[in-house]
Amino acid sequence: MINPNIQEIILTEEDIKERIKILGKLISEEYKGKDLILVSILKGSFIFSADLIRSLDNVSAIDFMVVSSYGADTKTSGKVKIIKDLAFPIENRHILIVDDIIDSGTTLHYLKSFLKSRNPASIKIATLLDKPTRRKEKIEADYVGFVIPDKFVVGYGLDYDEKYRELPYIGVLKPEAYN
């Protein structure tokens, strides 16, 4: 059943599942025989990371970072705060940052250079969603699930004010759902 606050579903559960299967093949191929660490950016990417890791056949480890997000607003504050850092060193290891969405690019632009300073063997980005028209920083993902229009979306890990993360699809909220 569709959540009553959802106006439109833009990506179904099936769309997402199919795309992750393809991303999994591409990433497995690229990192074959390498020591790959996934760095999942919480909280938004927890569901994507869980599905992506099960589509890969060569992951050495996964770790998590928590960075500041929007709170109850739908626009970025332009500042990034590390709330939880990685638990182990990444020097000389291949890092794939896994995030839910690149919007302005502020978060991933900051995070990529933050992690790069620890001298990993390589560092790439996988994002489920990309809103390229909103970009403020020069940053692109190496793996993109879907390019979407400039609309605020929820579901499949993405929230509005901590709600709707549990929806199995990605949708746009009805205007009356913003309070």
List contacts with ligand IMP (CB under 6 A).
44, 69-70, 76, 99-107, 152-154, 158
Pairing assessment for the beta strands 94-102 and 36-42 based on DSSP bridges:
parallel
Between 38 and 154, CB nearer to ligand IMP: 154
Shortest distance (Å) from residue 148 CB to ligand IMP: 8
Between 10 and 98, CB nearer to Mg ion: 98
Q: Which does 102 bind (CB under 5 to 8 A by kind): Mg ion, ligand IMP, none?
A: ligand IMP
Shortest distance (Å) from residue 119 CB to ligand IMP: 24
Between 115 and 154, CB nearer to ligand IMP: 154
Residue in 51, 100, 103, 130 annotated catalytic:
103
Residue nearest to Mg ion (CB): 44
Residue from 18, 22, 26, 39 nearest 115 by CA:
39
Site string for Mg ion, 19-48 (x = CB under 5 A): -------------------------x----
Q: Does 103 qualify as catalytic in the annotation?
A: yes
3-state secondary structure the chain: CCCCCEEEEEECHHHHHHHHHHHHHHHHHHCCCCCEEEEEEECCCHHHHHHHHCCCCCEEEEEEEEECCCCCCCCCCCCCCEEECCCCCCCCCEEEEEEEEECCCHHHHHHHHHHHCCCCCEEEEEEEEECHHHCCCCCCCCEEEEECCCCCEEECCECECCECCCCCCEEEECHHHCC
Shortest distance (Å) from residue 93 CB to ligand IMP: 23
* 163 residue type, one letter: K
If one asks whether residue 105 binds Mg ion (CB under 5 A), the answer comes out as: no
Between 58 and 165, CB nearer to ligand IMP: 165
Shortest distance (Å) from residue 80 CB to ligand IMP: 7
Does residue 43 have a cis peptide bond before it, meaning omega lies within 30 degrees of 0? yes
Q: Which sequence positions are flagged as catalytic? A: 103
Return residues touching Mg ion (CB under 5 A).
Answer: 44
